[in-house]
């Protein structure tokens, strides 16, 4: 709380002309005017500092918001269901995507304040974001990894692998199939 310094002499009684000389009263009045002018200047400086501080905080907040939205977009389309698309302002505050983004931001704030409380230098904010996203979106990361792995397995299952030495891999046949193939080779089909 700031004290009101607009008139520091408001509570002082006026000097009695019968007890105080006119020169002292004039000097005292002049000193009161100077102090009041200084108090007004001080008040104007404080107001200016508040405005500057508010503008700097607003600009910093906007920059952090743009950076955060860029990091979310950098996660790729795999996370669009969980985090939505576009910037945070484009999402409804009641949506699950907004909630997930808020959870990531809160987790980042907790991590950064923990570093600060311990007197440690925080890692780059990109690393903090990555860790927070992995913590909050662990189910989505697992699902995406599983989906990509099953896609690779499916792709590889359709491939024919040739053995080393330029020999084709032989297909294991049942005894009936071997007999049928031998008969076809000898008598033709």
| Separation of alpha carbons 105 and 111, rounded Å | 10
In a domain, 57, yes or no: yes
* Per-residue confidence band for 1, with pLDDT thresholds at 50, 70 and 90: very low
**pLDDT tens, 98-144?**
999 999 999 999 999 999 999 999 999 999 999 999 999 999 888 88
Q: How far apart are CA 130 and CA 104, in angstroms?
A: 9
| Per-residue pLDDT tens digits for 52-96 | 888 888 888 888 889 999 999 999 888 888 898 888 888 888 899
Which pair of tokens denotes residue 14? 């006026």
pTM, two decimals, is: 0.55
The domain of 98 spans 22-157
Task: Examine residue 102 and state whether it is found in any structural domain, yes or no.
Answer: yes
Please report whether residue 106 resides in a domain.
yes
Q: How many structural domains is the chain composed of?
A: 1
Question: Of the candidates 35, 30, 29, which has an alpha carbon nearest to the alpha carbon of residue 6?
Answer: 35
């Amino acid at each position: 709380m700031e004290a009101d310094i607009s008139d520091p002499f408001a509570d002082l009684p006026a000097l009695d002309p019968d007890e105080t000389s006119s020169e002292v009263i004039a000097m005292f009045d002049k000193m009161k005017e100077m102090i009041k002018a200084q108090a007004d200047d001080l008040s104007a400086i404080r107001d200016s500092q508040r405005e500057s501080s508010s503008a700097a905080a607003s600009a910093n907040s906007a920059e952090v918001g743009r950076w955060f939205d860029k990091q979310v977009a950098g996660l790729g389309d795999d996370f669009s269901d969980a985090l939505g698309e576009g910037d945070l302002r484009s999402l409804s505050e009641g949506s699950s995507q907004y909630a997930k983004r808020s959870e990531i931001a809160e987790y980042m704030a907790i991590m950064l304040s923990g570093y600060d409380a311990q007197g440690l230098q925080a890692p780059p904010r990109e690393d903090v974001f990555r860790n927070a996203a992995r913590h909050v979106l662990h189910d989505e990361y697992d699902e995406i990894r599983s989906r990509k792995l099953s896609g690779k397995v499916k792709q590889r299952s359709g491939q024919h692998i040739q053995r080393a030495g330029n020999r084709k891999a032989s297909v294991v046949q049942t005894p009936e199939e071997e007999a049928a193939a031998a008969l076809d080779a000898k008598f033709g089909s």
